[in-house]
Amino acid sequence: KAGVTQTPRYLIKTRGQQVTLSCSPISGHRSVSWYQQTPGQGLQFLFEYFSETQRNKGNFPGRFSGRQFSNSRSEMNVSTLELGDSALYLCASSLEQINNEQFFGPGTRLTVL
């Protein structure tokens, strides 16, 4: 099976812009989670989607949003970008059961100038 894919791999934006990141899970995986990784805060959970519904959300401002499509592909959007949003954004997919191992994509490296 193909692994989790994320596009784009690298992105440069300026403050105030918005950005959309895409994630395609492993075939058959219906749960998609998003994480932000920064040197200062480490790996932090953003949100998780299952069957097009957000089941869980981390402690991030409303500028961070996401959605999941009927084919389980997911997108996350960050509006009004701030310098502190520069990070590696990782997507992970897992089987529908809760608390399973997660399979991570290579990440999208976002730089905000």
Partner 1 sequence: SQQGEEDPQALSIQEGENATMNCSYKTSINNLQWYRQNSGRGLVHLILIRSNEREKHSGRLRVTLDTSKKSSSLLITASRAADTASYFCATAPLSGGYNKLIFGAGTRLAVHP
By the criterion CB under 8 A, which residues form the site for partner 1? 4, 31, 33, 35, 41-45, 48, 50, 55-56, 58-59, 88, 90, 92, 94, 98-107, 109
Question: Measured from the CB atom, is 16 or 65 closer to partner 1?
Answer: 65
Question: Measured from the CB atom, is 14 or 54 closer to partner 1?
Answer: 54
The number of angstroms, rounded, from the C-alpha of 59 to the middle of its chain's C-alpha atoms is: 14
Question: Measured from the CB atom, is 18 or 43 closer to partner 1?
Answer: 43
The neighbour count for residue 25, using CB atoms within 10 Å, is 26
